[in-house]
């Protein structure tokens, strides 16, 4: 039995990459290991039946032979499914990801990590190279994966490969109305600028095995939307906790420090 694992609290990139990989590896089933982003929950509530998804309770670890992991390189992020890596018949463990600086403790036999904006892009390129045609719903969820992780091709980590992959998915019939409903809105120009600054200035440390980071951002005026930016940084860097401070001027003589706290609590502490 072959399975494809998404990390817990699955996002559209992990979901899109996993479903794409199931088209590449016929017969493999996608297993969601627990939780999902709100948009993904709403999407699956309507379209789950279009995809080869399998509940964890339906998997017999003793029958597993190949495990593929997308958008993740760490055992703990697949929850209880992490014990499957040690199952007796597992001979192949594959990782597909786009996070170059992520620590890895999954005992992989094959690793493919590329400097692109979305993991879905990697698998899209493989499907395109093999001339595999997609149904509209598969093309749509894959397109959502690229849209969300690249900010609809506006984030700094976006590459030409992401744009080319997205164009091919549109040719395959990706449904624009569904994409528009579920894709995260792009950051404003002000947030994009602070996002780039934050990614370059993160101060990181490890405390009792947890990855923590902090950053202080400055701007002339208040900038709304920084909580979403903080959430995006945590996802991209796989931090356990992130502290974001934002300092901006109120008048010529004073300033104000705002702590962005609603998206900075540890995810696994």
Instruction: Map tokens 């590459």 to a residue.
Output: 159
Phi, psi of 247 (to 5 degrees): -105, 130
Percent of the chain predicted with pLDDT > 90: 61
> What pLDDT does 266 receive?
43
Nearest-10 crossing angle of helices 226-237, 189-201 = 40
The CA-atom distances, in angstroms, between 191 and each of 55, 222, 255 are 38, 11, 19
Which DSSP helix (H) or strand (E) runs through 244? strand 241-249
Strands 203-207 and 210-219: antiparallel
Residues of the chain with CATH 3.90.1640.10: 2-182
User: Helical H runs in the chain?
Assistant: 12-24, 38-47, 119-129, 136-150, 160-171, 176-182, 189-201, 226-237
The CATH architecture of the domain made up of 189-260 is Roll (3.10)
Residue 216 φ then ψ, to 5°: -115, 120
Give the Cβ contact number of residue 17 at 10 Å.
Answer: 33
**pLDDT band, residue 261 (cuts 50/70/90):** very low
CATH 3.90.1640.10 fits 2-182, yes or no: yes
pLDDT band (50, 70, 90) for residue 259:
low
- Say what angle helices 136-150 and 119-129 make with each other, to 10 degrees: 140
User: Does 112 score more than 70 pLDDT?
Assistant: yes
pLDDT tens track for 215-247? 999 888 888 778 778 877 887 777 889 999 998
Q: What is the rounded distance in angstroms from the CA atom of residue 8 to the CA atom of residue 40? A: 12
Instruction: Work out the burial of residue 213: count CB atoms within 10 Å of its CB; fewer than 13 is exposed, 13-18 middle, 19 or more buried.
Output: buried
H runs (alpha helix) in 25-159: 38-47, 119-129, 136-150
Statement: residue 78 has pLDDT above 80: yes
Residues of each domain in the chain carrying CATH 3.10.310.20: 189-260
Q: From CA 18, how far away is CA 14, in angstroms rounded?
A: 6
pLDDT per residue as tens digits for the range 133-187: 999 999 999 999 999 888 889 877 899 999 999 999 999 999 999 999 988 655 6
Coil/strand/helix, residue 219: strand
pLDDT number for residue 254: 53
């Amino acid at each position: 039995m072959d399975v494809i694992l998404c990390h817990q609290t699955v996002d559209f990139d992990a979901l899109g990459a996993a479903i794409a990989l199931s088209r590449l590896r016929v017969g493999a089933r996608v297993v969601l290991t627990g939780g999902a982003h709100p948009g993904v929950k709403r999407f699956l509530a309507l379209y789950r039946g279009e995809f080869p998804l399998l509940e964890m309770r339906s998997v017999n670890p003793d029958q597993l032979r190949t495990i593929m992991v997308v958008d993740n390189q760490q055992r703990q992020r697949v929850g209880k499914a992490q014990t499957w890596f040690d199952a007796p018949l597992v001979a192949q463990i594959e990782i597909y990801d786009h996070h170059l600086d992520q620590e890895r403790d999954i005992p992989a036999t094959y690793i493919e990590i590329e400097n692109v904006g979305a993991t879905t892009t990697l698998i899209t390129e493989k499907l395109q190279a093999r001339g595999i045609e997609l149904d509209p719903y598969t093309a749509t969820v894959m397109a959502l994966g690229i849209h969300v992780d690249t900010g609809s091709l506006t984030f700094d980590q976006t590459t030409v490969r992401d744009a080319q992959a997205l164009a091919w998915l549109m040719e395959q019939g990706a449904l624009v109305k569904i994409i528009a409903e579920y894709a995260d809105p792009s950051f404003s120009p002000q947030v994009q600028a602070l996002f780039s600054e934050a990614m370059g200035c993160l101060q990181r440390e490890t405390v009792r095995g947890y990855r923590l980071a902090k950053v202080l951002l400055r701007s002339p005026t208040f900038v709304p939307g920084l909580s979403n930016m903080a959430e995006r940084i945590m996802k991209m860097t796989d931090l356990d906790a992130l502290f974001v401070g934002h300092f901006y001027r109120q008048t010529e003589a004073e300033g104000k420090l705002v702590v962005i706290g609603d998206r900075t609590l540890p995810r696994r502490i």
